Every structure is written in structure tokens, then in C-alpha cells.
Structure 1
């Protein structure tokens, strides 16, 4: 072996050990995060944030209703409805009811600090076939999900960041 080869090998080994020891260089373990996400979650809040101004609104009211289910087998199902939705009696009211909800399902996975759902069916066909990606974090028994800025189908394509808080329901 040459001295140059040995120096490279030692450097590579040292960098590998440093990456494992340093939280800023190593990828955090996510198996436990996946396990923590699995279960039934009750909706707490839905906030839309304007990415340009940071202004936040609650388009589904301060007390929307909904549940999210993440199964160990990889199925994700979310259903969110606005606070105080009336029972629709006309076509216009049915259209308004559709705009006052969000629902989708698909296969989910954890990638780093994100939960990604490959949408298979949704209240709005525009989401079918897309990856809905959310940064997640836990706070006690709450799961916070923050989406990237994206056009929202219920807002005629206006770009918003969706921020959702769920509370474990088990």
C-alpha cells in the first residue's frame, strides 16, 4: 500500500466516524418517527399562510373537523371539513360544500423530516397522482404538518402554505 492510499483511507474513515457522531452531518434515524406517525389523529387547526406576506388565515374556521389515519401498512387518509358547514340543498350549496373540505388518500412514506403521500384519490382531481409533501414535527401528543407553497384548488389556484395541527386520537 502506498502512503497516499493510507492517508485517503484514514481520512475517509475519520470523515465517516465524524458523520456518525455529529448530528449536523448524520441523517437522523427516522424509523421511530414513522412509528410515531402511525395511528389516528384528530384535527386541531388548519391555517393557510401567504408565502409572500406571511399573513395567516383560517379558511375552514377556528374549529374545523377532521381526522387523519396513517396505517402501518402505508395507507394515509385525511378528511377535513370547515366549521359550521350547512347541509347543502342546491347545486350551488353542494359546490360550496366541496370548497369547504379537503380529503385525500394514498401511500405514505417518511423522507428525512418530511412525510410524503402519493395521492391515489382526492376530493379534487388535481391532487391525484401528485406527491403531497409535508414537513413534520411532534410536540407532545400533537403532530404539526407544514406544506410547501402551492396553488390550492379551493382558492382558485392561489398559492398558500398549508399548516395543519393534529392531536393523537387513541
Structure 2
């Protein structure tokens, strides 16, 4: 798995999830998707500040999904970020062999690059 975040204004890539993020996306035959991504080198929290900081290296949501052309669209029912609940999340997907490259639209993420437009480029390997 790889995860890169591109800032729209500068074209710069930031290492939002570290060098070795881990995660899964699971699609069920009856139309559900569960997405979980966490940054590398996360450590258990010792303080409330540590616990709050861990939220910067987590993306997780669950919902019903549908496919539209080369996009996977999720109607989010639960999420690590409450502002995502009740939204639709669109992802462009390109599959080459066992690799799926997933690209988000430009958006403002609650975790990083405050008030800047960014997009994520994620590569998953089929399990």
C-alpha cells in the first residue's frame, strides 16, 4: 500500500501518513464498503493530547457503495470525522493487475493541510 497527498496550490506532496501506512478497503457483495487507513509508526496514547494527535493519521468510514464508470461512490454512514457522515465520497479508480490506484477529488481534509485543497493518491494491492 502507498499513500500520497498532493497540495493543489503548490503541487507539493506531503507525507501525511508516513512512509509505511497500512489499511484495507473491503467491498461486500451486498453493497457495503469499509475503508480504514492509518499512518505508520503510530504509538499508543499516553495523554489526551497524544490521543487527539492520533486522529491526524487515521481515515476510516463505512457506507453503501455503487460504481459509476471508473468511480466508486460511497454514501457514508459512519466515519472517523463526523462531517463525512451523510456525504457521498467519490474516488476515481484505475485497476492494473492486482493494483488499484485510487484518487480522491480535490477537497479540504480535516486531518492535514488546514484550509488547503488536497487530494489523496492511494495504491492498494489485492489481498
Q: TM-score, normalising length from structure 1?
A: 0.72
- 1:152 equivalent to 2:109? Answer yes
- 1:140 equivalent to 2:100? Answer no
Query: More relative contact order in 1 or in 2 (CA 8 Å, sep 6+)?
Result: 2
CA distance in 1, matches of 2:10, 2:115: 17
Q: State how 1:4-19 maps to structure 2 within 5 Å.
A: none
- Highest CA radius of gyration, 1 or 2? 1
Q: Tell me which residue corresponds to 2:124.
A: 166
C-alpha change, 1:157 and 1:105, in structure 2 (3 Å) is farther
CA deviation vs aligned residue, 1:90-128 (integer Å, no higher than 9, x gap): 100000111111000100111111110010000000111
- 1:69 equivalent to 2:26? Answer yes
Q: Tell me which residue corresponds to 2:63.
A: 106
Segments of 5+ residues of structure 1 without an aligned counterpart are 1-43
Q: List, as ranges, runs of 4+ consecutive aligned residues in structure 1 with deviation greater than 2 Å.
A: none
CA distance in 1, matches of 2:20, 2:40: 6
How many residues align? The count is 126
Q: Judging by fraction of residues, say which structure has more strand.
A: 2
Mapped contact 2:65–2:73 kept (Cα < 8 A): yes
Mapped contact 2:8–2:116 kept (Cα < 8 A): no
- 1:83 equivalent to 2:83? Answer no
Q: Secondary structure at the match of 1:46?
A: strand
Segments of 5+ residues of structure 2 without an aligned counterpart are none
Q: TM-score, normalising length from structure 2?
A: 0.95
Q: Tell me which residue corresponds to 1:22.
A: none
Q: Judging by fraction of residues, say which structure has more helix.
A: 1
Q: Tell me which residue corresponds to 1:11.
A: none
- 1:49 equivalent to 2:6? Answer yes
RMSD after superposition? 1.0
